[in-house]
Chains A and B, each alone.
Chain A
Amino acid sequence: MKTIESDNPPVPISDNDLILYFYRDGLSAERMVEIDNALFVQTELRRRYTELQRLLHEVDCAPVQEPDAQLTQRVWNKLSVRIEAEPVRAQSLKRWLTLWHTQPPRFRAYVTAGLLVAACAIGFYAGRHNAVPSNDAAQARTASARLLDAYVADHLRSTEGLLLTAANTNSNELDAGNRELAAALVESNRLYALAAARSGNARLGDFLRQLEPVLLELANRPADAPIESREGLREYLRKTDLLFQVRATQARVDPANRHRT
């Protein structure tokens, strides 16, 4: 550590301080002034700072891989295909979700129960009629599985955002929004888990069931939850690798990913 030679008590200025000073970031205004003054009177400090500037200048001069001339066109070509497929699904889902969330909770509960009964009935019926299916029936099943995948992929995207926000934000406002989102996701998560199991995708059904306790926890998290609970969640996410699993499952079921490959 080097010190400033002045009448005042010596203020150590480390190289790390100089790095922050170089970027004009991460130091208080008072500290910036102290370093300013010290650089004016301290030869050795000035040499250290000059060396830092020289070093970072070398970094600026180091060549960076340039994009090739066709990059933008290539990116747009792929992007436009994905965008083309996006609006219909996204807008219909958005409309559906908006409509769904404007309904009274009791109505939503009845509809959810009705859908669950219907899903069970279809599962039961399908189980009893295990003869070779006709082409039409097979196509219909494939179409409904794809539709379910599309909805589940969007559901997992929302869940990923929810987990990231819950683990990383310190904002009460975001927390409140997150609680509402978590409460909404609990309901749809149950529905999708059951639908996945009924359609024969036990792996997806099991995974969605694993998510439920976390969603419930986030939906019921108190507004004044201590910092430890956030750290606990981070630790839980790290240990269980849940975020990775959510992303991986989302990538696996997302029909948009299938178009790409």
Chain B
Amino acid sequence: MAAKEEEHWVDAARRGDRAAFRHLVEAHTCALFTVCVRITRDAALAEDAVQEALFSAYRHLANFDGRSAFKTWLHRIAVNAALEQLRRRHGEEINDSDLGNSDDEEDFLLSRIAETPSPGQHARGAEIHRRVDAELARMTVIERTAFVMRHAEGQSLDDISRTLSINISACKQAIFRAVRKLRGALQPLR
């Protein structure tokens, strides 16, 4: 949906036009599901999160001030909805212990890597993806969420720290740890 067109639908939806809101729902549901499923790792939870996020967006359309893109605003709501679903279903909380220690300073990228991947390594692509997926699932909620928001959603550290109610330094550490864990998952294959 083009930016101008979206602006039109958002304005109309703010005035109570349900058809306009439906346009927005149709335009964003799949992308919201993708971000939610990346965080929750569960399709049913992700769908519930999308449902809650869109309802919350509908109720708070008046608060959308247009300073950020509608998509960014909506995705921020969806991330919180996904975290809320995890908290409700599994009792997972974003808390201090999730933030971990900030002493992962040692470099890790060059440990045991091959110069170039061999054909055999290429053939193991599916196995790499399985391990990446497993590692994403094993990350703490905050590591995974911060990483997904930065890497897949392209959100700034500033926005991520605001969404997750943590400071920038903690946000960076969460992303560093996420990347470190992913690197660890690939190591035996290199």
By a beta-carbon cutoff of 8 Å, the part of chain A in contact with chain B is 1-2, 14-16, 18-20, 23, 25-26, 44, 47-49, 51-52, 55-56, 58-59, 61-65, 67, 71-72, 74-76, 78-80, 82-83, 86-87, 90, 164, 167-168, 238, 244, 247
**Bound: A19/B99 CA distance, A:** 18
Q: Which 3 A-B pairs have the closest CB atoms?
A: A67-B33, A62-B129, A15-B107
Kindly identify which residue among A19, A25, A62, A72 contacts B30, using a CB–CB cutoff of 8 Å: A72
B18 contacts A80, C-beta separation under 8 Å: yes
Contacts of A48 in B (CB 8 A): 107, 109-110
Please list 7 pairs of residues, one from A and one from B, whose beta carbons are closer than 8 Å in the complex, sorted by A's number.
Answer: A1-B107, A19-B179, A47-B110, A51-B109, A65-B46, A79-B55, A238-B95
B55 contacts A83, C-beta separation under 8 Å: yes
B132 contacts A58, C-beta separation under 8 Å: yes
A90 contacts B59, C-beta separation under 8 Å: yes
Contacts of A55 in B (CB 8 A): 109, 179, 182-183, 186
B151 contacts A72, C-beta separation under 8 Å: no
Contacts of A20 in B (CB 8 A): 172
- Asked if B76 is an interface residue, CB under 8 A from chain A, the answer is no
- The chain B residue with its CB closest to the CB of A241 is B93
0/1 interface trace, chain B 78-95, chain A, CB 8 Å (1 if under): 000000100100000001
Contacts of B22 in A (CB 8 A): 76, 80
Kindly identify which residue among A18, A58, A244 contacts B129, using a CB–CB cutoff of 8 Å: A58
A167 contacts B179, C-beta separation under 8 Å: no
**Bound: A1/B16 CA distance, A:** 57
A-B contact count (CB 8 A): 119
- The chain B residue with its CB closest to the CB of A49 is B109
Contacts of A167 in B (CB 8 A): 165
- The chain A residue with its CB closest to the CB of B173 is A16
Contacts of B58 in A (CB 8 A): 79, 83, 86
Smallest beta-carbon distance B112→chain A, Å:
11
B176 contacts A86, C-beta separation under 8 Å: no
Q: Which of B123-138 contact A (CB under 8 A)?
A: 125, 128-129, 132-133, 136
- The chain B residue with its CB closest to the CB of A68 is B43
B128 contacts A58, C-beta separation under 8 Å: yes
A15 contacts B165, C-beta separation under 8 Å: no
Contacts of B151 in A (CB 8 A): 23, 56, 59
- The chain A residue with its CB closest to the CB of B25 is A76
- The chain B residue with its CB closest to the CB of A256 is B55
- The chain A residue with its CB closest to the CB of B21 is A83
A79 contacts B107, C-beta separation under 8 Å: no
A51 contacts B110, C-beta separation under 8 Å: yes
A25 contacts B16, C-beta separation under 8 Å: no
B183 contacts A64, C-beta separation under 8 Å: no
A18 contacts B172, C-beta separation under 8 Å: no
**Bound: A247/B88 CA distance, A:** 10
Smallest beta-carbon distance B137→chain A, Å:
11
**Bound: A9/B25 CA distance, A:** 55
Contacts of B104 in A (CB 8 A): 16
A2 contacts B107, C-beta separation under 8 Å: yes
Contacts of A49 in B (CB 8 A): 109
Kindly identify which residue among B50, B175, B182 contacts A59, using a CB–CB cutoff of 8 Å: B182
Kindly identify which residue among B18, B29, B37, B168 contacts A64, using a CB–CB cutoff of 8 Å: B37
Smallest beta-carbon distance B65→chain A, Å:
13
Contacts of A64 in B (CB 8 A): 34, 37-38
- Asked if B143 is an interface residue, CB under 8 A from chain A, the answer is no
Kindly identify which residue among A18, A44, A52, A75 contacts B50, using a CB–CB cutoff of 8 Å: A75
A18 contacts B38, C-beta separation under 8 Å: no
- Asked if B108 is an interface residue, CB under 8 A from chain A, the answer is yes
